[in-house]
Copies of this chain bind each other. A is one copy, B any other.
């Protein structure tokens, strides 16, 4: 390693950065799953230096070479310097992407991944330009929960989540797209899977990474307002609703902080209590308004259905009311294929095959939109 020189991340000019950024750029925080640095280098060896921290939920990282998955590992609190390749043909440019597997972790205030720089014996070359920018907004599905792990595993742990086996990543790759992920397992558009009304994505959407809390994360600017002008997507995929549907099936939840009990109710015939359904409808309308406020030209696809499709009518009611109210027609609803016994991963979440099948139809649909 004596012959390798260190280049701090802030001095790497030829680089693709995936995922939302805040004010701190050196070290560079990878805030969400799929958040990544991508370089093309000559030389025989490439290393990456980064620092991580965590309490209960340790981050996992993965890396790919020339677009192919190569490794994936747990990283525990500390300084890391890992080799991304070695002994390769020094003249051939190699494209490497290093990314965070674990979602932004609202339940672990210390959890973070900070990229410091690269060590190499070659030169940085021009990086690929992407044809499209896509933002994926979602829940555990978009966090890749259960994309790793045995079908029978039930612990709720960092290692089961990923960006490597994830319809969002697959879709972005198939479309040659730059992409952002903003997702949180268990959260919804109105409330979380267990009726926790605090767990709604709109409440954190306007911050850089509202899910990353605590002093050290705040110091990175995660709670700052996000600068939407810095990255305007062409497409926004909203994959929310699965947890909102779940809340109707769960018991009431008393939230001490709010001093109240919450419960999405069902009617005797099994249909949704209209009052409670309208809470979801209204939250979705407001979220669409928020999305449009910040994303001027993006086509917004509400893409839903990978874990049943019980909210199809609820969500389309919101989209239609939003359309009516705003006159904005640049929005659509697209149902994703349901996960089946054949395609489940761990703890009843979509497995690799489910992510692949969802990605295929979503790719076709996005192509269709842009050929129109």
Contacts and interface: CB of A to CB of B under 8 A. Distances in A.
Interface string A33-75: 0000000000000000000000011101000011111111110
B68 A150 contact: yes
Contact of A320 (B60, B269, B317, B368): B317
A261 interface: no
A187 to B, nearest CB: 21
A68 B313 contact: no
A340 B313 contact: no
B316 A87 contact: no
A72 B159 CA distance: 13
B361 A333 contact: no
A155 B211 CA distance: 41
A60 B86 CA distance: 13
Interface in A167-196: none
Contact of A338 (B85, B157, B333, B364): B364
A201 interface: no
A290 interface: no
B316 A333 contact: yes
Contacts of A323: 313
Contacts of A74: 71, 82-83, 86
A337 interface: yes
Contacts of A271: 329
A142 to B, nearest CB: 19
Given A65-B153, A309-B334, A335-B305, A148 B317 contact: no
**Interface footprint category on A:** 35 or more
B329 A320 contact: no
A149 B66 CA distance: 8
B334 A335 contact: yes
A320 B312 contact: no
A159 B70 contact: yes
A185 to B, nearest CB: 16
A153 B69 CA distance: 12
A270 interface: yes
B333 A65 contact: no
A150 B73 contact: no
A152, A320, A372: most-surrounded residue (chain B CB, <10 A):
A320
A70 B148 contact: yes
A66 B86 CA distance: 32
Given A68-B346, A83-B74, A312 B340 contact: no
A83 B88 contact: no
Given A68-B148, A71-B74, 20 more contacts: A56-B87, A65-B150, A65-B153, A66-B149, A70-B159, A71-B73, A71-B159, A72-B72, A74-B82, A88-B155, A88-B157, A267-B329, A271-B329, A272-B329, A308-B368, A309-B335, A312-B332, A313-B323, A313-B332, A338-B365
4 smallest A-B Cβ distances: which pairs? A316-B316, A335-B335, A271-B329, A66-B150
